[in-house]
Structure 1
Amino acid sequence: MNFVQHSSRLGWKKNKRGKPIIIDPGLYSANKSEIWWVIKQRSLPTAFKLYTGSAWTILSRSFAEYAIVGWDNLPRTLLLYYTNFVSSPEGYFQTLICNSEEFKNKTLNHDLHYITWDNPPKQHPRSLGLKDYRRMILSNRPFARKFKKNDLVLNKIDRELLKRGRRQFAMGGWCLEDEGKEYKCSDLKEEKYGVLRPGTGSRRLRILLTKLVSNQNLSKRVCR
């Protein structure tokens, strides 16, 4: 299963993203510079249907291999098309998976992120803080954005969710536990290297995934 938030309702993006032609010097230049806008515009494609959505995706291995190998040439065609497209991460995977007969019914219209927006929405989402912490947890979503650097809510997440000490890695099932009930990763259980123990976060994720794949919601979350 793939988690790709998508929509065929392009709205303002139809004229601002779909029709303009741009050249990105970042494709060939070592120096960062602004993109070039071509005066003449192009018509919307008819060989495939455009989709848009969140740039944050979770892809299955089979779909990732399809995107790389492209045995029916669609991935390469779209890669060439989106080379001249502003904010291509918000359209490439959405358009690819929803135009693929093999994968269009193997995606959920969700990016598993907790994001909040100003009202009216601005170009970028709100920065999350301590006042958003409880709502983040109750959303059962495993990811969230965006955060300001060194915001206090990040310390709270490290301390209460990841059980991560200052300047330490998040503890895993391979870390030894000493008599003081404290974990340290200087000594490893070699036989359990790479072991992850499900915690309360996994239970919250299970609740969310169960809801997303329920018969009531599944038909609403595939490509249309």
Structure 2
Amino acid sequence: MRLSSSNTFTWCSGFPLWVMVLVVTSVLLGTLSLTSQSVFCRVGNKYQISARFPLKGNGNPPVIAYWISSTNGEKCEKMLRLLKAIYHPRNQYLLQLDADSSGYEREQLALYVQSQGVFRTFDNVNVVGQSYGINHMGSSSLAATLHAAALLLKLSADWDWFIALSSSDYPLMPQDDLLHALTSLPRNLNFVHFTDKTGWKEQKRVEKIVLDPTIHLQNSTPLSTLNYSSNITREIPDSFKVFGGSPWGILSRDFMEYCVQGWDNLPRELLMYLSNVVYPLDYYFHTIICNSPEFQNSLVDNDLSFTVWNLTAFGETQVLNMSHYEQMLASEAAFARPFHTGDQVLNKIDESVLNRSSKGLVPGEWCLGEGRSMGLENSADDHEELCSTWVNINSVNPGSRGISLAALLTNLIVEGRFTTSHCQEHW
């Protein structure tokens, strides 16, 4: 991680999504030439330097790079709640409100991050300035994901895994638990769930052509179906075989570097092909993994996420509520999605799973004084200091969920799940 030269907050400029159209066709090579200062609001400071760098290797916990995005004008309070629920000083965080959110919301988000001493100390929470539209059904969502990964690679070369979350997601375990479960695993693993429906219906879905106008415009715009309902299709190229599954996952840094930098032709070719497909995130990473000998043996067919698919709506998931609570916890997933803002099930997770106050961070080995017993529920000051006293950031204290997840992942290794077997079925 790098220190800011000043503690003074500076508003940052971004760049419009039409620039990313060119970046998409070159697998974001242009993005990598940008300086991080032109995109980020840096909020670090210079005190307690000796204890703020996470130790790497030798059994130390991993470092996770989180991209938290918000679409359709969602308020920054929803994003901040998620940030506090998954915050750990070892990790890196990139927060992005899309263009449907107001400039005022983005400014308030950045000002809040800058106001918290714990974020300044560890210099690991960054806010994208001027943003762009993102349509989760179209190619703009894939471009935004790769863009975020490229920026996080510029921000820090020390992270091990990339996780993309929306502000409608929420954790089902503290970060101490997740970091503990991942500590003993090879850092090149990719946790991606493959669909069991890779048949002719999925093939027809990929062959149909759609246009995502959001890639050219400032705000999110519905897809143009073009010939989506017609009989006109395109063939899948012979140079790769398409695989699909859920759009979420936990992806290794080495794999994300390959997708972003594209040092051979596959990422570029696939990116151009999927730019006119509905839900391209359902296919992009799966297809690259299974068509790359370097990464075929790195995958785990489990995205560690809990969702309930809506069988009556194409590509959509059910909104989770209290009726899903027991099922969520029994799933041993690390995250669940999606939730409505302020749903009571989120309060239940805070209270019973995370031990988190309504405004505080999740307590852990690094921040023993936070939590419900010393929470901020009764404080009239929304900007009261988060975790003013902290200790060892390189030690985690897992609970029962973290221990259980670690055992599950270990069993996957013992059972030989890290093989190319998931890449045998294709269209």
Match of 2:262 among 70, 80, 83: 70
Q: Which one is further off, 168-177 or 74-83? A: 168-177
**2:409 counterpart of 1:209:** yes
Q: Secondary structure at the match of 2:210?
A: strand
Letter aligned with residue 213 of structure 1: I
Within 5 Å, give how 1:186-201 maps onto structure 2.
186-189=387-390, 191-193=391-393, 195-201=395-401
Unaligned runs of 5+ in 1: none
* Shift of residue 195, structure 1, vs aligned partner: 4.9
Q: 1:221 to 1:4 in 2, by over 3 A?
A: farther
Match of 1:24 among 204, 212, 233: 212
Q: Which one is further off, 34-43 or 165-174? A: 34-43
Q: Secondary structure at the match of 1:36?
A: coil
Q: 1:24 to 1:182 in 2, by over 3 A?
A: closer
Within 5 Å, give how 1:129-140 maps onto structure 2.
129-140=321-332
Question: How far, CA to CA, are the matches of 2:387 and 2:296 in structure 1?
Answer: 46
Q: Which residue of 2 aligns with 1:46?
A: 238
Q: 1:83 to 1:140 in 2, by over 3 A?
A: same
Letter aligned with residue 188 of structure 1: T
Whether contact under 8 Å (1:5, 1:108) holds in the other structure is yes
Q: 1:157 to 1:76 in 2, by over 3 A?
A: same
Any idea what the Cα deviations from partners look like across 1:27-61, whole Å, max 9, x if unmatched?
11114333233444211222110111000011011
Question: How far, CA to CA, are the matches of 2:301 and 2:213 in structure 1?
Answer: 33
Alignment: residue pair count: 219
Whether contact under 8 Å (1:176, 1:187) holds in the other structure is no
**2:282 counterpart of 1:90:** yes
* Shift of residue 129, structure 1, vs aligned partner: 2.3
Q: 1:200 to 1:78 in 2, by over 3 A?
A: same
Q: Which residue of 2 aligns with 1:115?
A: 307
Structure 1 residue ranges (4+ consecutive) displaced by more than 6 angstroms after TM superposition? none
Q: Which residue of 1 aligns with 2:80?
A: none
What root-mean-square deviation, in Å, do the aligned CA atoms of Structure 1 and Structure 2 show? 2.6
Q: 1:177 to 1:26 in 2, by over 3 A?
A: closer
Q: Secondary structure at the match of 1:22?
A: coil
Letter aligned with residue 245 of structure 2: G
Whether contact under 8 Å (1:10, 1:52) holds in the other structure is no
Question: How far, CA to CA, are the matches of 2:332 and 2:194 in structure 1?
Answer: 20
* Shift of residue 164, structure 1, vs aligned partner: 0.4
Provide TM-score, normalisation by structure 1: 0.85
Q: 1:110 to 1:134 in 2, by over 3 A?
A: same
**2:202 counterpart of 1:13:** yes
Any idea what the Cα deviations from partners look like across 1:49-79, whole Å, max 9, x if unmatched?
0111000011011111111122222111111
Q: Which one is further off, 166-175 or 85-94? A: 166-175
Q: Which residue of 1 aligns with 2:319?
A: 127
Whether contact under 8 Å (1:174, 1:195) holds in the other structure is yes
Q: Which one is further off, 62-71 or 39-48? A: 39-48
Amino-acid identity (%): 35
Letter aligned with residue 300 of structure 2: L
Question: How far, CA to CA, are the matches of 1:48 and 1:31 in structure 2?
Answer: 33
Whether contact under 8 Å (2:356, 2:363) holds in the other structure is yes
Q: 1:174 to 1:183 in 2, by over 3 A?
A: farther
Match of 2:366 among 174, 177, 181: 174
* Shift of residue 213, structure 1, vs aligned partner: 2.4
Provide TM-score, normalisation by structure 2: 0.47
Question: How far, CA to CA, are the matches of 1:167 and 1:26 in structure 2?
Answer: 35
